[in-house]
Amino acid sequence: MKISCVDLFCGAGGLTHGFVLEGLPVVAGIDMDPACRFPYEANNQARFIERDISTVTDSELLALFADADVKILAGCAPCQPFSTYARRYELDSNGKWGLLYEFARLAKGAKPDIITMENVPSVAKHAVFHDFVDTLERLGYHVWYDVVDSSRYGVPQARRRMVLLASLYGKIEIIPPTLDKPITVREAIGQLTHLQAGEVAKSDKLHIASTLNAKNIQRIKASRPGGTWRDWPEHLVADCHRAESGRTYAGVYGRMEWDKPAPTMTTQCFGFGNGRFGHPEQDRAISLREAAILQSFPRDYAFVPEGGEVGFKVLGRLIGNAVPVELGRAIARSIGSHLSLVKDCE
C-alpha cells in the first residue's frame, strides 16, 4: 500500500517530522514563509513549496500525491487573528478567517483518503471550524476532533491543541495518551550546556540565550521557579504591573519549574519578559535550542545552514508556531493504526 502525505502550512516541519519518524511518507510541505525552507528540507525527505495556499489548485495537489494508494492531507491552518497568515488575509464579508476555507477547498477538490488538522483550542469557537467539519462530513468523511493535552503524548510542555482526524474509510480517532506522567523541564533540557544571558554554546549555535539589561538581570535573580513578579522587591516591579490592567499577568517575567512540563511555547519564548520563559536555575531566558527541545524537536534538528544567521525573531516564530514533533508522531500513529484496521477488514 503506497502512502503519500502533503503537509499544508508546514512551517519548519514539526508535523512532517513526526510523520517521517513514524514511517508515513511526506512528499511535500507547502508554506508561504521562505524561512521555513531550510529546516523543512534539511531534516525531512520532502520538498518545500513556497506558495500561498490560496493559489494552489486541486490538480497541483493531486499531482503531488501522484499514484499513491492512500492520500493524506495534513496541516495546521493559522486561524488566530494575531498570526502572520491572518494579517495577510482580510476578513471576508461574513467576518470569517479564510485559511481554513482554503484547506476545505483543497480537501473538496482533491478528496484525499485521510485529513488531519491541528490548531489552537479556541478555533472551535469560530464558525469557520464548524463549516470545515460540515464540509468534510458532506463529502463522506468520518470526522473526529477534540482538544488534546500534548504533554500526555511526549511533549514536555503544557500545550493543549485541537486535533481533527477525518477518514473516508470509517471511524478514526487519536490513540490514547502514551504517557501517564509528563516529561519535565529537567528531563528535557537539564543536561544542556550552562549559559549566561547573551551567550552562545560553542557546540551548538542554536543554544543561544538573549541578552538581558541590568534591571532584568536583577529581576530574574529575584525570581523563583514557579513564582511571579509579585515576589520582587518593590523597586523592580515594572510600571505595566502597577497598572490595573497588568496585575493579572502573573506569569510574565517568570521562571519555569524543573519538575513540571514547560509552559506553552510561543513565538516570543526566547524573551524573559514575554511569559514564563526564564530558565529554572540560570539567570537568563531559555535558549532557542531549549525552546525547540521543549517543542519536542530532536536535539540535532537544524534550523539554519552552516554559517547562517541565528535570528531570535525569525527562529522564535518558526519554533513557537510549530506542531510539536511528538504530537505529530501521535497523529501519525493514529492514522497508521486506522489504516491497519482498514487493511485487516479488506
Tell how far CA 259 is from the center of its chain. Answer: 22
Let me know: does 98 contact 69? Beta carbons within 8 Å. Answer: no
Q: List, in sequence order, every residue forming a beta bridge with 200; answer none if it has no partner.
A: 208
CATH of the domain at 228: 3.90.120.10
Instruction: Kindly state whether residues 275 and 162 are assigned to the same domain.
Output: no
d(CA 234, CA 110): 61
Within a domain: residue 72? Answer: yes
d(CA 209, CA 198): 5
Is 79 in the active site?
yes
Within a domain: residue 195? Answer: yes
pLDDT at residue 277, as a whole number: 96
Q: Domain range holding 271?
A: 185-321
Instruction: Kindly state whether residues 169 and 141 are assigned to the same domain.
Output: yes
pLDDT at residue 98, as a whole number: 77
pLDDT at residue 81, as a whole number: 45
Number of domains in the chain: 2
C-alpha separations of 89 from 98, 100, 203, 311, 330 in Å: 7, 12, 41, 26, 31
Instruction: Kindly state whether residues 59 and 41 are assigned to the same domain.
Output: yes
Instruction: Kindly state whether residues 315 and 337 are assigned to the same domain.
Output: no
Instruction: Kindly state whether residues 314 and 329 are assigned to the same domain.
Output: no
Instruction: Kindly state whether residues 206 and 151 are assigned to the same domain.
Output: no
Within a domain: residue 346? Answer: no
Within a domain: residue 258? Answer: yes
Within a domain: residue 135? Answer: yes
Largest CA distance in the chain: 71
Within a domain: residue 115? Answer: yes
Vertex 174 angle, CA 171 and 177, to 5°: 145
Instruction: Kindly state whether residues 296 and 335 are assigned to the same domain.
Output: no
Instruction: Kindly state whether residues 18 and 35 are assigned to the same domain.
Output: yes
Closest CA to 167 of 28, 325, 346, 336: 336
Instruction: Kindly state whether residues 36 and 7 are assigned to the same domain.
Output: yes
Treating both helix axes as pointing N-terminal to C-terminal, what angle do 99-110 and 127-138 enclose, rounded to 10 degrees?
Answer: 0
Q: Which of 10, 79, 269, 345 is catalytic?
A: 79
Instruction: Kindly state whether residues 216 and 289 are assigned to the same domain.
Output: yes
CATH of the domain at 29: 3.40.50.150
pLDDT at residue 78, as a whole number: 73
Instruction: Kindly state whether residues 157 and 223 are assigned to the same domain.
Output: no
Question: Which residues in the chain land under pLDDT 50?
Answer: 80-96, 245-246
Instruction: Kindly state whether residues 47 and 89 are assigned to the same domain.
Output: yes
